[in-house]
Amino acid sequence: MSIFEELMLARQISFQDGRVELTGQRVVISPSAFFGAYTKSICDSPELVGAFYRAAKQAMTEGFGKDVGKAYGFSFSNYLDWFVKLAKLSGWGKIEWQESDEKKHTGIISAEGSPVAAYLKGKIASPCDHVIRGLMAGGASSAYKLDLDIVETECEALGAAKCLFVIDTAENLRKRHPDLAKLQLGESGAKA
């Protein structure tokens, strides 16, 4: 059974009078080109990239992350599975966990077929999946029960076979991937 069918059966998705709700959260359906065009307009500014990423992370942490935890009482692995299913259902590409370490609070996620990367292929000079990166960071923070961040280390828009996202604390990401963290998390590392 697909996640869409599971949500329908559990009455966790509704379409009514111009409103679409998923697990009690209002969602909108938007052309992926919107995210691509908006992302292109901010790609060269760490301050804007960081703010955009933190807004997506906060929306996930305070929305789905909180509500799903309350409604389902998911275990760590169930959270990880649910957030991947949600990302796929939402059209962000073929999302898969490559690595996950609950004790170290780290992981690597891959995405194949990113709509933003497809839109920006050949148009940018650095990884660009800031929206999904923020949403995944919010999901990972909920699953790991710790404030975590994500940097994109490989990107389809730059010719990689898949987009790769590394999960860790902001401090560790700044040590391991200083240039990427500076651009993708922003200079200040301010929290959402």
* Domain definitions of the chain by residue range: 31-185
pLDDT given at position 5: 55
- CATH number for the region 31-185 comes to 3.30.1380.20
pLDDT given at position 134: 95
Question: Tens digit of pLDDT for each residue in 25-49?
Answer: 777 778 889 989 989 999 878 789 9
The confidence band for 192, taking pLDDT boundaries of 50, 70 and 90, is very low
Whole-angstrom Cα distance, residue 191 to residue 55?
A: 10
Whole-angstrom Cα distance, residue 80 to residue 112?
A: 17
Widest pairwise Cα distance in the chain:
49
The confidence band for 7, taking pLDDT boundaries of 50, 70 and 90, is low
Question: Tens digit of pLDDT for each residue in 123-179?
Answer: 999 999 999 999 999 988 988 889 999 999 999 999 999 999 999 999 999 999 999
* pLDDT above 80 for 2: no
Report the DSSP beta bridge partners of residue 154.
164
Question: Tens digit of pLDDT for each residue in 43-94?
Answer: 878 789 999 999 999 998 887 777 666 666 777 788 788 888 888 888 899 9
Secondary structure (DSSP) of the chain: --HHHHHHHTT-EEEETTEEEETTEEE----HHHHHHHHHHHTT-HHHHHHHHHHHHHHHIIIIIHHHHHHH---HHHHHHHHHHHHHHTTS-EEEEEEEETTTTEEEEEEES-HHHHHHTTT-SS---HHHHHHHHHHHHHHHTS--EEEEEE-GGGT-SSEEEEEE-HHHHHHHSHHHHHHHH-SS----
